[in-house]
Chains A and B, each alone.
Chain A
Amino acid sequence: MYAVETKNLTKRYGKTFALKNLDFTIDENEIMVLLGPNGSGKTTLLLILATVLKPTSGQATVMGLDVAAQSTRVRQILGISFQEARGFWRHKPADILRFHASVCGVPKTERNTLIDNVLRDLELWDARNKLFMHLSGGQAKRLEVAKVFVHRPKFVIFDEPSSQVDLRGKRKIWAQILKLREEGSTILIATNEVREAEYLADRVTVLDKGKSVVCDTVRHLKDSITGGDVVELEIDTPQPHTLKRTLSQMKGTVKITNSGANNFKAYVSMAESWVPRMTNVCYRNKARILSIRVTEPSLDDVFLHFTGRALRGASNA
């Protein structure tokens, strides 16, 4: 059984489809990252799974429970960290966490220790008695994710968990997310931050215009791009044209360009197997390799490859 499964899930706002016949699964104890630009349907999917929104049609289940028909039971096993922390303007972080923990059924004996630990881990300790409205954007966001870390539910949803947070804060949040998974939680993260996705994801689902474009591990997604790896070479050779022709005929080479007399840029598939073959060719051609630099495709490139649009530049759908 999947931890989360959607079948033909559709959500429509008037004539606009936020989700269109989405089929999607998450395995138990997996970190699934939803990657897509603003307006791709990520947040809508999260809100439907969290039972905050009702789907227009189709079905979604969480741990076998239907989100529309058994919404209260679904809410008892999940926790969600929203994209924006808003709402409790006149409350203090420590009080907000205490309230959240008590409503979510965290045992009274563990509550205070858990809250203190999370406040310290996320560097909110000094701000614990400030009013929410006096917190900085980063602190408010950390408080939003702290709710889930105090609750530690079976199924966790994060909507852009580290947006507005500095790099140090991001690392701390990511470490806590990985710890949650180690403890057995299934995790769904929506983000448009490529680095976050690469760091956390077991699998990535690329969403575009409410549809799942592709779903696989980061490694497989990157490998699936033909010519996605870029190998920059500096080679000392008396016959650069001959060498270039030979390299371009090698298996796995998509394109080779010159960026100087002895500098080559090769667009290849699977650089890890292409580079050893290239060194043999150079040896046979009596060419001396001075430097090699391999850059693999980012998830940005993956998104571009599968949707034809850049992730960051994509506008709201």
Chain B
Amino acid sequence: MRNMIRLVWFDLKTELKPPVWIITEWIIFLVQVSVYGTMISQLVTGIENYSNFFAVGLVIMITFDMASHTGRHFVEHAHEGRLPYLLSLPVSRSKLFLTIALQGGTELALMLAVPLTVTVMIMGNLTLVSVAACVLTLFGLGFGVAGLMLALSFVAFKSSDLYTAIVTGLSTIIIRFSTVLYPFIFLPPQYASAAAFSPLTYGADLVRFILGFDPAILVNPYYAVSILTALAVSTLGLGLILIQRLVEGVKSA
């Protein structure tokens, strides 16, 4: 356990000195919600308080970015030569991969601290239960997305350019074809069927449900919980198996 904390902290402390990237992300979030959110909510009809809906969408996008960053980070480590070093340390493989996940989780928690607090506050739902439920949902989504990126990293061992292209394309599709910015029931049928395959749809609508949005405009929360859990477990499991086989078997490692 000590070694896991050492590994996480060793990387994290340099990223926090100074924590420019986190603070920048917070400022961007605050500007987006206060300026763009307020303006767009004047234009959108049919949803009460669209700026709140929009704020949750932004929180989900941050979660997605951070989770995919964790997956990409792993691939970068492999290419930069850090991965062989980590693999040679006297830490078991499962602990090492748990450390990677823990580091991603810590970064996600830091990144979400202000956006989530602000969102919950402006919606007037700042309770321990609502915050805990939101955090749980966001971490479930985060693990699922990180697992997806890790599972895709086998492509990166063949070609990092191809990996970048696939991940960029996939990210665009996953974000655009989802309910991050628009409610499910208002989506055109073709768009809605595509959005049903995006994990962000379930993450975003579950958080909105927890924070008290009208359930009529959201996907079924029970579906959302089951799908997010299944996604996190399956992609993380698949990702870990693939990675373990790949890093110990390919030349680039």
Contact = CB atoms under 8 A, between A and B. Distances in A.
A54 B249 contact: yes
B249 A103 contact: no
Given A54-B248, A103-B90, A82 B81 contact: yes
A102 B92 CA distance: 16
Interface string A45-56: 001001111100
A75 B77 contact: no
A102 B89 contact: no
In terms of DSSP, what is the predominant structure of the interface of chain B? Answer: helix
A103 B82 contact: no
Given A13-B250, A87-B77, A52 B88 contact: yes
Interface string B65-106: 000000000000100111011011111110000000000000
23 contacts: A13-B250, A51-B88, A52-B87, A52-B248, A53-B249, A53-B253, A54-B248, A71-B93, A72-B90, A72-B91, A75-B91, A78-B88, A82-B81, A82-B88, A87-B77, A87-B81, A88-B82, A90-B14, A91-B10, A103-B3, A103-B7, A103-B89, A104-B89
A82 B3 contact: no
Nearest to B95: A72
Nearest to A75: B90
Interface in A63-121: 71-72, 75-76, 78-80, 82, 84, 86-91, 95, 99, 102-105
B102 to A, nearest CB: 15
Contacts of B82: 86-88
A138 B91 CA distance: 29
Interface of A: 13, 18, 47, 50-54, 71-72, 75-76, 78-80, 82, 84, 86-91, 95, 99, 102-105
Contacts of B251: 13, 18
Interface of B: 3, 6-7, 10, 14, 77, 80-82, 84-85, 87-93, 248-251, 253
Given A13-B251, A52-B87, A103-B89, A86 B14 contact: no
Contacts, number: 61
A52 B253 contact: yes
Nearest to A50: B88
Given A13-B250, A52-B253, A86 B80 contact: yes
Contact of A75 (B80, B81, B89, B253): B89
In terms of DSSP, what is the predominant structure of the interface of chain A? Answer: loop
Nearest to A47: B84
Nearest to A88: B82
A209 B190 CA distance: 57
Given A84-B81, A91-B10, 19 more contacts: A13-B251, A51-B88, A52-B87, A52-B248, A52-B253, A75-B88, A75-B89, A75-B90, A82-B85, A87-B81, A87-B82, A88-B82, A99-B10, A102-B6, A103-B3, A103-B6, A103-B89, A104-B89, A105-B90
Nearest to A54: B248
Contacts of B7: 103
A57 to B, nearest CB: 12
A75 B77 CA distance: 20
A51 B87 contact: yes
Task: Please provide the 8 A-B residue pairs with the shortest distance between their CB atoms, ordered closest to farther.
Answer: A87-B82, A86-B81, A54-B248, A75-B90, A76-B90, A72-B92, A90-B14, A52-B87
Contacts of A53: 248-249, 253
Contacts of B253: 52-53
Contacts of A18: 251
Contacts of A72: 90-93
A109 B87 CA distance: 26
Interface centre among B6, B82, B88 (most CB of A within 10 A): B88
Interface centre among B81, B82, B93 (most CB of A within 10 A): B81
A45 to B, nearest CB: 14
A50 B86 CA distance: 11
A187 to B, nearest CB: 16
Nearest to B3: A103
Nearest to B84: A52
Nearest to A98: B10
A216 to B, nearest CB: 29
Contacts of B81: 82, 84, 86-87
Interface centre among A50, A52, A71, A90 (most CB of B within 10 A): A52
